[in-house]
Amino acid sequence: MTNQFKYAAIECDNVSKHYISERALDHLDISIKTGERLLVIGPNGSGKSTLINVIGGLIRPTKGIIRIHGVDIHKSNPEHRKTIGILTHRPFLYEDFTGRENLTFFGKLFNVPNVSYRIEEIADLFTISHLLDRRVSLLSHGNRKRLGMARTIIHDPNVILLDEPDSGLDTHSLDELARTLGQTLQSKTIVLTSHNVDWALPLVTDVLQLSTRQEALKISIQEYHSLHELRKS
């Protein structure tokens, strides 16, 4: 536990990700402290999803190192992946299983103690308790997203990575998600991407702006507001 405060929660050390046809990330150097909440914004193709996937250990960077609480996640024991909870565009749910079966499976793999109780707890949080015994293929997009969120935090990770968690959600669900992020996940380190800046801004402490020319600018929320007020006037 002390490691949490000794190192930054997330450290990207000269991280680049190049694909054959394009460069998604280039020489990215950012540090995210424990408890910080970072909103990553930028136009399509600026590398937001790639960044989430790279930090989450799903994609190996072409160059550079990602450290979560001081540990290089790509080189270390898979055990360290317990500290991360990630939600990408694909919710990682088995279509033919029910919500409960999906959560049970991932809960077991993540060594969650008292899985069935924990499932009830987070299903309550995302108000999907009544949907738990329905097959995922029969759930609406919004409900799948909520189930995906439940899967993301079932093991109580310290670092939570969310790639456009708000896309396709109705107003009610957006409010619910905002509440969850604001209250239940208060002490966690969160990185999220979103196109809906108005919704996301009140939830975060810092903003990372990516551009299609692989530029990255990390500023605090206050600086972001002042920048925007300057622009308005």
Partner 1 sequence: MKTYLTQVWDISYKDIRLEMRTRQMAVSVLVIVIALMIVTNLAIPKSVDATFTTTATVIWLCILIASFMVVMRNFVIEYDQIGFHGLIMCPVPRDAIYLGKVVSNLIFLLVIESILFPLSSILFDVPLLTPTVAAITGMATIGIVAAGTLFAAISVNTKAREIMLPVLFFPAVIPIVLAAVDATQNALNPSYGANILEDIGVLAALSLAIIATSAILFNFAVDE
Partner 2 sequence: MLLQNRIMLGLILIAMMSALYLIFIMVPTDVNLGVSQRIFYIHVPLAVLSLIPPIIVFITSILYLVRRSPQWDALAHSSVEVGLLFTTLALVTGSIWARPTWGVWWTWDPVLTTFLILWLVYLGYLLIRSYTAEPDKRARFSAIVGILGSINALAVYLASELWRTIHPDKVIGPAAEENALDPAIQLGILVSFIAILLLFAYTIIFRTRLHSAVNQIGSLRDQIDDLVYRISNK
Binding site for partner 2 (CB under 8 A): 18-20, 23, 26-27, 60, 214-215
Q: Strand (E) positions, 73-131?
A: 84-87
Q: In angstroms, rounded to a whole number, what is the distance separating the alpha carbons of residues 23 and 17? A: 6
- Per partner kind, with CB cut-offs from 5 to 8 A, the member of partner 1, partner 2, none near residue 185 is none
DSSP state of 140: -
- Per partner kind, with CB cut-offs from 5 to 8 A, the member of partner 2, partner 1, none near residue 214 is partner 2
Sorted by sequence, the CB contacts under 8 Å of residue 147 that are 6+ apart come out as 91, 93, 99, 102, 103, 126, 128, 131, 136, 139
- Per partner kind, with CB cut-offs from 5 to 8 A, the member of partner 1, partner 2, none near residue 93 is partner 1
- Per partner kind, with CB cut-offs from 5 to 8 A, the member of partner 2, partner 1, none near residue 134 is none
Given a contact cutoff of 8 angstroms between Cβ atoms, the answer to whether 33 and 9 are in contact is yes
Neighbour count for residue 164 (Cβ, 10 Å): 21
Q: In angstroms, rounded to a whole number, what is the distance separating the alpha carbons of residues 149 and 88? A: 10
What's the min distance (Å) between Cβ of 55 and partner 1? Answer: 12
What's the min distance (Å) between Cβ of 107 and partner 1? Answer: 10
What's the min distance (Å) between Cβ of 145 and partner 1? Answer: 15
The residues of the shown chain that bind partner 1, judged by CB under 8 A, are 53, 56-60, 77-82, 84, 86, 88, 90, 92-97, 101, 105-106, 108-111
- Per partner kind, with CB cut-offs from 5 to 8 A, the member of partner 2, partner 1, none near residue 222 is none
By beta-carbon proximity to partner 2, the closer residue of 20 and 230 is 20
What's the min distance (Å) between Cβ of 52 and partner 1? Answer: 11
DSSP state of 45: T
Given a contact cutoff of 8 angstroms between Cβ atoms, the answer to whether 156 and 107 are in contact is no
By beta-carbon proximity to partner 1, the closer residue of 151 and 204 is 151
By beta-carbon proximity to partner 2, the closer residue of 215 and 223 is 215
Q: In angstroms, rounded to a whole number, what is the distance separating the alpha carbons of residues 121 and 150? A: 10
Sorted by sequence, the CB contacts under 8 Å of residue 208 that are 6+ apart come out as 30, 38, 39, 40, 41, 216, 217, 218
What's the min distance (Å) between Cβ of 10 and partner 2? Answer: 24
- Per partner kind, with CB cut-offs from 5 to 8 A, the member of partner 2, partner 1, none near residue 88 is partner 1
